[in-house]
Structure 1
């Protein structure tokens, strides 16, 4: 393709600068702001900017190798050129590209091979060790999948529509989608589109939610009329799914430590027509204590490394380290220990993460059961990125006494 006008290249440069070197911001927020501030760009330009931005984040370590590892701090325009050459994308020499020695990059590209696994998969050295230790020889297969682009999956809101009806409504707005086998509410887009501008979205007919994430609502085995707690609700993607599965009957208490996330959940619930959700900020330990022994179902979507969702959040591999994972594992054990007390006897909870590391997943559940013999695991499931969607883990646990 004939590349990008100069103003697109400058936009990509500024967004990468902000993500990596200036404010260490989250990539999705940075690109959202960039596209909002350039409403004059057409849909094709926006798609090109978005794709190049995310691909450079994804392949940063490999691109830095092609540039010459000694280049610090990274010249972001050189990073962009390295990507354009590697991906065989045509481009014009803008003044911002002047003075960049292209020969250095092309020499390395011609070699075809790279010296280390970390460079090949474009991940930090510590992550190679962690993945190898935890996943064994299949780590490379999973890392290969995590470097692919995430598909866009919607969850048809069963309070308002069905997947078939949603597909038909989207088709009227030139969005082509299809159902996914074994995912009763899921609808996948044929190509990436800004679905938030559709009438279907404004009418609350769907939420954007990965297919793996949609499994968790079903795994929790909720029934109409129950009292359910979503203990780490965030902006409420899974809360809204649970509300739909309960057909708005019963009570869902959505908890989170961040008030702004719960405010977003309220907005989303209103649009979705989910009326059985109450939000509570975890401002102190009393919020949890008041719910001890009172809950039929509990979802603990625990904070985690996020290594299962690098397809859609590739910048997070540059923002975390092994010390962060060690810290988060302690937090996970504390949360499951404290929050599980909310369950009634006979109640069930799901412990879930979007990680692929056993030490954050089944090992945490085993540790919890060992220390709490009055709980038992009924079943668990891990979804690996190589299966096509996000990596997730979920365990269904019952309180016996």
Structure 2
């Protein structure tokens, strides 16, 4: 017998056995190393040796990402990209399986963590990733089973680990919670589960009282589709070209340039149409910000927190490549990506400048028809896409973000001309960062007032503020407010 983590291996030729560890509630999973009749290790074209190698890489990636997220509060996508750079021998299928497994682990973490002993859970969430290989593989299996994706690989992994296939209660009101309960039965856990396990317990009280939390939590179980914004008037031709590359596209019924990619199996960044700058990857909710701003051709706009420039490009495109969009950011290196993207698409009306975050003076003060403030925030609205953010954000971070947003909005508003527009946006769901910031700004700036606009996804009137929710369009969640500066008295 040899011990690895909390799981014990025995050389047996009998049936799979499970025994409960009384002091922690975590089960020992006993693996049969002899060949089991009727159990095949082959999944599709994946043989035993290949599968074990893939799982080893998957476990190493998961360990690296958990350490980055919980130990360093670094984004999971960057950690995973770094892992892939260091392991260039991994093929596209390996990378896809590893990515899907790691993100399933992060999406279901609120449930999966209940299968761990308290001390192990506390260690992991403080960045001490001391977890055995087999125990980590079992968590990955549970994540795949819980999410209902890659079930073929999950079945092979269960056979490798000696885990009986969980049997959820049929016709359960919540299939997701039924799968969680079935996993608990297999692991010998007495844990109970709720939909609210998908976020830290402090999150829901910070949402609006009438917020449909059930729909929000349901969306958190799955990743949203990839959305494209087409930057060409010949949309039908480009859509046909993308479909000929094997992409399944779904056009948004109201937003002509917005297309969802249902099966992003193709590397979009290698396509000729991408190199020609004919489309950008931009979530549908993000596209709503530019549509709420509705800049006119020939105007002069400022994107005060441009970052990599997704919304800058959208503004420039909506202006039909006329006028000027000045993109600023206090982190000047962030603008490098925007310059590349603008050159690729041939936008002549984009200018980049560094901004120190202070009020505008001289020619810049009051010099713009419109100013967009896409403020840094808690990013709670993109937790479907970046599930690691749920587990690293703290309540005090929301307060700190709101204070920063207030300062940025105050400073950027000085660039709006008389009669011009001020657009405030976040990718947050918390009113403290959204309406709370705008209301505080308006209380001390009587020269600005809400300006109604149409909901880009529905056409319904908005009174000047809009919260786009994930279930409004199978997308991220974003907030936007449209303010008009009163005309100066002559």
| CA drift at 1:230 | 0.3
Q: 2:277 and 2:96 mapped to 1: Cα distance?
A: 25
Call closer, same or farther: CA 1:92–1:112 in 2, change over 3 Å.
closer
Q: Specify the SS of the correspondent of 2:322.
A: coil
Which residue number in structure 2 is paired with residue 31 of structure 1? 80
Structure with the larger helix share? 1
Question: Aligned match of 2:229 in 130, 155, 163?
Answer: 155
**1:352 maps to 2:425:** yes
Which residue number in structure 1 is paired with residue 138 of structure 2? 81
CA root-mean-square deviation:
2.9
| CA drift at 1:9 | 2.1
Which residue number in structure 2 is paired with residue 168 of structure 1? 240
Which residue number in structure 2 is paired with residue 5 of structure 1? 51
Encode CA deviations 1:86-113: one digit per residue, 9 max, x unaligned: 6061234899x79x9x99x977245898
Number of equivalenced pairs = 393
Superposition map of 1:60-79 within 5 A: 60-72=109-121, 73-74=123-124, 75=131, 77=133, 78-79=135-136
Superposition map of 1:1-400 within 5 A: 2=43, 5-22=51-68, 23-72=72-121, 73-74=123-124, 75=131, 77=133, 78-85=135-142, 87=145, 89-92=154-157, 108-110=184-186, 114-115=191-192, 117=194, 120-131=196-207, 134-136=208-210, 138-158=212-232, 161-193=233-265, 194-283=267-356, 285=358, 290-378=363-451, 379-387=464-472, 388-400=474-486
Query: Are the aligned partners of 2:206 and 2:431 in contact in 1 as well (CA < 8 Å)?
Result: no
| CA drift at 1:288 | 6.1
| CA drift at 1:369 | 1.2
Q: 2:237 and 2:220 mapped to 1: Cα distance?
A: 32
| CA drift at 1:42 | 4.1
Q: 1:201 and 1:45 mapped to 2: Cα distance?
A: 24
Q: Specify the SS of the correspondent of 1:126.
A: coil
Q: Specify the SS of the correspondent of 2:199.
A: coil
Q: 2:60 and 2:378 mapped to 1: Cα distance?
A: 27
Which residue number in structure 1 is paired with residue 459 of structure 2? none
| CA drift at 1:216 | 1.2
> What is the TM-score when the length of structure 1 is the normalising length?
0.89
Which residue number in structure 1 is paired with residue 29 of structure 2? none
| CA drift at 1:76 | 6.4
What 5-or-longer segments of structure 2 have no aligned partner? Answer: 1-41, 125-130, 146-150, 167-180, 452-463
What 5-or-longer segments of structure 1 have no aligned partner? Answer: none
Q: 2:190 and 2:298 mapped to 1: Cα distance?
A: 59
Q: Which has the higher contact order (CA 8 A, sep 6+)?
A: 1
Q: Which stretch shows the higher mean deviation, 147-156 or 3-12?
A: 3-12
Q: 1:56 and 1:375 mapped to 2: Cα distance?
A: 46
Query: Are the aligned partners of 1:66 and 1:109 in contact in 2 as well (CA < 8 Å)?
Result: no
Encode CA deviations 1:151-182: one digit per residue, 9 max, x unaligned: 01100013xx4332221111232222121111
| CA drift at 1:147 | 2.8
Which residue number in structure 1 is paired with residue 33 of structure 2? none
- Could you say which structure has the larger radius of gyration? 2
Encode CA deviations 1:289-345: one digit per residue, 9 max, x unaligned: 652111101111111111111111111112210111000001111111111111001
Structure 1 ranges of 4+ moved more than 6 A: none
